[in-house]
Amino acid sequence: MDNRNLSRYGSHYIAKSLAVSLLSVFIPVYLLANGFSLIQVGFFLLFQESINLTFTILLSRKVHTMSLRAVIATAVVAQMVLVITVYEFLSVQWSFLILIAGIRGFHDSLYWGSYNITLLRLSGKRTGDFLGKWHSAITLATVGTTLIAGYILDHYSPGWLLFFTLILYVVSIIPLRKLIFPPLPGNEVLPLRKSLSSPVNRYMFLVSHMNEFGIKLLDSFLPLYIFIVFKNFVSLGIAGLFAALGQALYSYLTGRGSDNQHRRPFLLFGNILGFAIVFSSLAFVKDPKFIFIASSLLGFFWLASYITAEAGINKRHITEYPYGKKMLERFGENMAGMLVGIVIMLTPFLSINIALAVAPLYMIFIASIIYWRYKALI
């Protein structure tokens, strides 16, 4: 592990995470609060992920020849354009919705595609231990900022928040100047047409798809539900604080357990099951306090599943075509985001309780396939 690169990228990621926690994380709910319908917000997420997938396909063919720091910096600039557009030029029009969804999809493709590859390079042999400590440090560095931002959005205009957000985005670019990675071995592009014919690749696709479906429920669907219940932004900050504490607790206590090959199948399935049970219970338990407790448990279970999956993938499956295989993970994630967008669009026609109860069952279905068909690969 290169400690200089770790320090540089860590400084960048903390600054960017702080910026995201001030305004970017609120965008879907901000749209709902300012005149867009739940159907339109669901479309925003669906179209965003469609653009994300399109650019991910293009990126997969070139990422092994590109400078990762240039890709990351471009993504950050796109995010800056996005928050300025949303919080300064909001217009309740479909054309506006399509515009900001396109910008966000472009950012997500570049940033999270390069993020997966960067963490692969930084993590070394003890992937689970590294990811546990990484997420614990990032979570503790940003804990409480969504609460402060939520309070300000409830009582003041977002102008000052936007100002500090843009400063943090600029600061996050500075450490990238000296971020240099040598190419990974075997960095040829993965032949996409043949990629899913391999059991290993199918496993990677399914596990990334399942985990991303969970995080999209956690950071898109759940905030919308919380806003509908409490009708304020500060409640999102409180829920975010509880979720962060749950993630930090897992990262600190048990992240290294994911490095144990024999434990990984149990950890992966068990944590997905825990996530699904807690999320579904929101449809039946209406005590507001329970929402915050559930947020903490959901943060814990999701991060546990993610770290377990990434530990197994990085240790056993990135032996050739590392760039292409990480892009394959992104395809699974893009499709998960599209599905959650569809779920949100359908919610007004069903009921939010039905969506809460049924949506996480999909994760159990995918986890069951992984456990019974690809257990040996976890």
CB under 8 Å to 217, separation ≥6 — which residues? 279, 340, 359, 360
> Given a cut of 80, is residue 285 above it in pLDDT?
yes
Does residue 273 surpass a pLDDT of 80? yes
Identity (one letter) of the amino acid at 339? L
Structure tokens given for 112? 């999270």
Over the stretch 317-355, which tens digit does the pLDDT of each residue have? 566 667 777 788 888 999 999 999 999 999 999 899 999
Which helix (H) or strand (E) covers residue 180, if one does?
none
For residue 15, give the nearest of 240, 255, 176, 179 by alpha carbon: 176
**Which of the two residues, 248 and 82, has the higher pLDDT score?**
82
Q: What is the pTM of this model?
A: 0.90
Average pLDDT, the chain: 86
Give just the sign of the alpha carbon dihedral 236, 238, 241, 246: negative
Over residues 76-103, the mean pLDDT reads: 97
106 contact partners, CB below 8 Å, separation of at least 6: 51, 52, 55, 75, 78
Sign of CA dihedral 172, 325, 222, 103: positive
Domains of the chain: 3-174+198-377 (1.20.1250.20)
- pLDDT above 70 (res 185): no
| pLDDT for res 309 | 78
Residue 54's nearest CA partner among 263, 331, 278 is 331
Using 50, 70 and 90 to split pLDDT, how confident is the model at 10?
confident
Tokens (6 digits) for 116: 């997966």
Across 14-18, 58-62, 233-237, 265-269, least confident range: 58-62
| Band of residue 58 on the pLDDT scale cut at 50, 70, 90 | confident
Tell me the per-residue pLDDT of 227-237, one tens digit each, with 9 for 90 and over: 999 999 999 99
Contacts of 223 (CB under 8 A, 6+ apart): 25, 26, 28, 29, 236, 239
Percent of the chain with pLDDT over 90: 50
pLDDT for the residue 329:
84
CA-wise closest residue to 370 among 267, 218, 250: 267
pLDDT for res 314: 65
Cα–Cα distances in Å, from 54 out to 148, 180, 187, 195, 302?
Answer: 35, 27, 21, 17, 26
What phi, psi does 248 have (nearest 5°)? -65, -40
Please compute, for residue 330, the number of CA atoms within 13 A of its CA located in the half-sphere on the CB side: 31
Rounded alpha-carbon distances, angstroms, from residue 229 to 232, 295, 355? 9, 14, 15
Residue matched to tokens 């557009």: 85
